[in-house]
Structure 1
Amino acid sequence: MPTQAKAQSIDELTEKLGRATIAILVQTQGLSVKDMNDLRKKMRDASVEFKIAKNTLLRIASERNNMTELDTSIFNGQTAVAFGYDDEVAAAKAIVDYTGNSKVVVLKSGILAGRTLSAEQVEGIGKIKGGKNQIKSEVVGTIQGPLSNVFNVISAPMRELCYVLQNHAEQLGGASAE
């Protein structure tokens, strides 16, 4: 039977996991207080919520969020969680940048759409140029370019016919005015 404080922590983690688009697990064991404060500041600047959590409470929170495809073996060792609510790429980029410069902080894994991400997959997401909106715009551009070309090819004969009819009408109008 969990204590009242643990029950509140579970409820809080359940809410955060349910709301987060990505959750990245890192190990911060051995990090000094000054470095931990620096890490928290960098996460706040990147709009990422950073919290140290007990593995058992994280596992229970993931179960409450029906994350059935989640590999619960990721909940081991000392764990801190970075919750990204808006942009998965920006959150991963902030964590990957920090772990790349830190000799103590280790990237463990991540949770995206209720599925487990390996540390390599989180690093891959963090190395994507731009952010979520840039990726969306590139996809739209990739789709829009060929569609625009198809539209132009299909509408060209009708457009040319309209130009011919307009020129002919102008010639007839010009001949009657004389």
Structure 2
Amino acid sequence: MPTPAKAAKIEELAEKLARSRIAILIQTQGLSVKEMNELRSKVRPMNVEVQVAKNTLLRLAAERNQLADVDPNIFHGQTTVAFGYDDEVAAAKAIVDSLQNSNMVVLKAAILGGRSLTPERVEALAKISGGKPSAQAQLVGGLQGPLSTTYSLLTAPLRDLCYVLQARAEQLQQQQQTQSE
């Protein structure tokens, strides 16, 4: 049974995990307080909150949110969590960009959509140009193109039949006009 302070911390982490779109786990061991504050200030404009958390409490918070597909092996070593509340891509980009300037900070994993991501997948997510809206537009465009083509193919025979009937009606009308003259 956890102490009341730990139970409150588990509740806080569970609430943040539930609210966040992505939780990026990083190892910040060796960073000074000043460097940690700089990291926080760099990612704050992207609505990313950075917090040091104990692995056991973070694992219990993930279990409390029924994140069954999260690999329990990601909860090891010293862990700092970056909670991204708005855009998953922007949060990943902010963290990955911040990590490139530091030799001490290591990307461990992430939790996205109830599943854990490897560091490579987090870096790939950060490389999506234009962010989440651009990725969504590309997806819609990718779906819309084939659907538009299919619609055109299915409606072409009916449309062509209408054109033939209209041309025949105009031809008959012209023949009537020439006969009546």
TM-score range, shorter chain: 0.7 to 0.9
Determine the structure 1 residue equivalent to 2:100. Answer: 100
Q: Verify: 1:87 aligned to 2:87, yes or no.
A: yes
Q: How does 1:133-172 map to 2 (within 5 A)?
A: 133-167=133-167, 172=173
- Which runs of no fewer than 5 residues in structure 2 stay unpaired? none
CA positional deviation for 1:162: 2.8
Q: TM-score, normalised by structure 1?
A: 0.85
Q: Bigger shift: 56-65 or 147-156?
A: 147-156
Q: After superposition, what is the alpha-carbon deviation per residue over 1:95-131, rounded to whole angstroms, capped at 9, x for unaligned?
A: 1111112222211111123322222221122122222
Q: Bigger shift: 94-103 or 114-123?
A: 114-123
Q: Verify: 1:40 aligned to 2:43, yes or no.
A: no
In 2, distance between residues paired with 1:36 and 1:53? 14
In 1, distance between residues paired with 2:59 and 2:28? 19
In 2, distance between residues paired with 1:175 and 1:70? 79
Determine the structure 2 residue equivalent to 1:6. Answer: 6
Q: After superposition, what is the alpha-carbon deviation per residue over 1:149-178, rounded to whole angstroms, capped at 9, x for unaligned?
A: 1222222232233334445556638949x8
RMSD over equivalenced CA pairs, Å: 2.4
- Which runs of no fewer than 5 residues in structure 1 stay unpaired? none
Q: TM-score, normalised by structure 2?
A: 0.84
* Identical residues among aligned pairs (%): 60
Work out whether residues 46 and 86 of structure 2, in 8 Å CA contact, stay in contact via their aligned partners in 1: no
Q: Verify: 1:28 aligned to 2:28, yes or no.
A: yes
Residue identity in the other structure for 1:70: V
Matched residue pairs, number? 178
